[in-house]
Amino acid sequence: MHQGVKCSICGEKAVAIIRYARLRLCKRHFLEFVERKVERAIRRYGLVGRGDRVVVAVSGGKDSSTLASILAKLSGKLGYKLYLLYIDLGIPVYSKANREKVVELSKTIGKPLIVVDVKEVLGLTVPELAFKVRRPVCSVCGVVKRYIMNAVAVELKASALAMGHNLDDLVAYVLKEFFNQNLEQISKLGPRTGSVEGLAVGRIRPLYEVYERESLLYVLLSRTPFLPDECPHVRRGTMEFKIKELLDSLEESFPGIKFGLMRRLAKNLESYPKPSQKLSRCKACGLIASGELCSFCKITKQALGEPMGARVREYIRRKILELGLD
């Protein structure tokens, strides 16, 4: 009977074969391998400093759960404070199930959780808001999530907003933008983006060098709470999904090809053109905008008759006070 492969480090039963690194790892050494990758990315790209406040946006899915769990582990050693943020979008069944999972995650890793409930603050769920403004749910959802994530980071005086994008997500985004020749967009796909004082908090991507497969294995092996369910609005025929499928077969023939691209991209980011859009302060809420009003205030004004950014910021400030996080 086949006994399975052995860990290259300790000889225990291997649970992962990492071909690009020529390693076969047992559970313990695999978890350490991923944690070390995240720590190395944080140090290599200068993502977080001692004394920083970091907000990690969690969805209940595998990537943000892996990220929150590892950031919590490293927070003592690297000396930063970590806060979890969950945005309840009001998507029937899905949002509630994920909310419960994130509450469990927060307890498991021992870090505070801020929940922003869109229906509670706007009186409308994201699908209802999209219906009112006659735009696709995913596009409105993107605007709402980006706004709330930034607003929470600003109100918490955080120095970084950590996103769960993994290596495969980023490779797919880079190639999509390359096919469309949106080179300025590629310049935003590095391990970090800059902050704009008082208007926007920079984003960091600590899973920059972590494969999507490694992220799934991490939550499964570490028994970190997560839900594998997909948002009911997700479309599988998109270019990102197709690129991911194609790249899986490329990776099978050339192990490490995705990792190599993102390493080289991080070095070359400066040579990509920067977005030329002029940034301003939203007249209604005071956060970052590209015109008079930010996208969130525009959408909510259209749907509800008044821009809601300022009210959302007030709601967040109250939540922060209630949780004693100030």
Partner 1 sequence: MLLVVVEGSVVGVFVVGRVRVRMVPGGDVVEVDVGGVVSVRELLRRLGLSVQGYVVVRGGEVLTEEDVVSPGDELEVYRVASGG
Angstrom distance (rounded) from CA 33 to CA 47:
19
Angstrom distance (rounded) from CA 150 to CA 176:
25
- Cβ within 8 Å of residue 237, ≥6 positions away: none
Question: Out of 73, 135, 244, 263, which residue is the one contacting partner 1 (CB under 8 A)?
Answer: 244
Angstrom distance (rounded) from CA 230 to CA 321:
33
- Cβ within 8 Å of residue 260, ≥6 positions away: none
**Binding string to partner 1 for residues 166 to 205, with x set by CB under 8 A, is what?**
--x-------------------------------------
Which helix (H) or strand (E) covers residue 16, if one does?
strand 16-18
Label residue 232 exposed, middle or buried (CB < 10 Å: 0-12, 13-18, 19+).
exposed
Q: Can you tell me which residue has the tokens 């005086």? A: 157
Residue 326 in contact with partner 1, rule: CB under 8 A: no
Residue 229 in contact with partner 1, rule: CB under 8 A: yes
66 φ, ψ to 5°? -60, -50
Angstrom distance (rounded) from CA 83 to CA 53:
8
Residue 149 in contact with partner 1, rule: CB under 8 A: no
Residue 121 in contact with partner 1, rule: CB under 8 A: no
Q: What is the 3-state secondary structure (H, E, C) of 137-163?
A: HHHHHHHHHHHHHHHHHHHCCCCEEEC
Residue 4 in contact with partner 1, rule: CB under 8 A: yes
Please choose, from the candidates 79, 244, 107, 229, the residue with its C-alpha nearest in 3D space to the C-alpha of residue 174.
Answer: 244
Q: Could you tell me which stretch among 2-10, 194-202, 276-284, 306-314 binds partner 1 (CB under 8 A)?
A: 2-10
Please give the size of the binding site for partner 1, defined by CB under 8 A: 38
Q: Could you tell me which stretch among 33-41, 101-109, 247-255, 315-323 binds partner 1 (CB under 8 A)?
A: 247-255
Q: How far is the CB of 164 from partner 1 (least distance, A)?
A: 10
DSSP secondary structure letters along 49-85: -TT-EEEEE--SSHHHHHHHHHHHHHHHHHT-EEEEE
Residue 245 in contact with partner 1, rule: CB under 8 A: yes
Q: Which is nearer to partner 1, 89 or 294 (CB)?
A: 89
Residue 17 in contact with partner 1, rule: CB under 8 A: yes
Angstrom distance (rounded) from CA 43 to CA 39:
6
Residue 254 in contact with partner 1, rule: CB under 8 A: no
Residue 23 in contact with partner 1, rule: CB under 8 A: no
Q: How far is the CB of 57 from partner 1 (least distance, A)?
A: 13
Contact by Cβ (8 Å): 105, 69: yes
Residue 24 in contact with partner 1, rule: CB under 8 A: yes
DSSP secondary structure letters along 101-125: HHHHHHHHHT--EEEEEHHHHHSS-
Would you state the structure tokens that stand for residue 139, as one six-digit string? 């596009």
Q: Which is nearer to partner 1, 5 or 121 (CB)?
A: 5
Residue 209 in contact with partner 1, rule: CB under 8 A: no
Q: Which is nearer to partner 1, 22 or 235 (CB)?
A: 235
Q: Which is nearer to partner 1, 218 or 296 (CB)?
A: 218
**Binding string to partner 1 for residues 33 to 72, with x set by CB under 8 A, is what?**
--------------------------x-xxx---------
Residue 234 in contact with partner 1, rule: CB under 8 A: yes
Q: How far is the CB of 73 from partner 1 (least distance, A)?
A: 20
Residues binding partner 1 (CB under 8 A): 1-2, 4-5, 14-17, 24, 27, 59, 61-63, 168, 212-213, 216-217, 220-221, 228-231, 233-236, 238, 240-241, 244-245, 248-249, 251-252
